[in-house]
Amino acid sequence: MEIKVLGPGCQRCHKTEEIVREAVAEAGVDAQIEKISDAMKIAGYGGFGTPAVVIDGEVKSVGKIPRKEEVTGWIKS
């Protein structure tokens, strides 16, 4: 599975990436995590507001730091 964390270099975006990595490690699933910080690329996903999380092309959360349980829910389903 492909997980993308969208967001320029703000603190909230780093925190989101951290949470996603933790959730993936704990769930033990095989996933590639990529951080995307390029403005036009972020716009390309249609996400208004950062940080955003995209899993396998589907926008899961926008404009907030997700809770770890939420992320675990997305990657397990």
Partner 1 sequence: MDGDVDDHLRSIEGDIRKAMGMKERTKLLLIAGVFLAAYYIPWDHALIRQSGFEAFMMLQEYAREHVLTCLIPAFFIAGAIAVFVSQGAILKYFGAQASKILSYSVASVSGSILAVCSCTVLPLFAGIYTRGAGIGPATAFLYSGPAINILAITLTAKVLGWQMGLARAIGAVVFAVITGLLMALIFRKDDAARTTGQIYVPDADHGKRTLLQDGLYLLVMVLILIFASFARPAAGASGFWPMIFAYKWYITAAFLAVLAFMVKAWFRKDERVAWVESTWGFMKQIFPLLIAGVLVAGFLLGRPGHPALVPEHYVQSLLGGNSLWANLFASVAGALMYFATLTEIPILQGLLGSGMGKGPALALLLAGPALSLPNMLVIGSVMGVKKTATFCGIIIIMSTIAGLLYGSFAG
Please give the residue ranges that form the binding site for partner 1 (CB under 8 A).
6-12, 38-50, 52, 59, 61-65
For partner 1, the closer of residues 1 and 43 by Cβ is 43
Q: Assess whether 63 carries a catalytic annotation.
A: no
The answer to whether 45 touches 59, Cβ cutoff 8 Å, is yes
Q: In angstroms, give the least distance from the CB of 55 to partner 1.
A: 13
For partner 1, the closer of residues 29 and 44 by Cβ is 44
The sign one gets for the Cα dihedral 51, 33, 21, 70 is: positive
Q: Assess whether 10 carries a catalytic annotation.
A: yes
Find the radius of gyration of the CA atoms of the chain.
11
Which of 3, 5, 13, 54 is labelled catalytic? 13
38: left (phi over 0), alpha (psi -120 to 50) or beta: beta
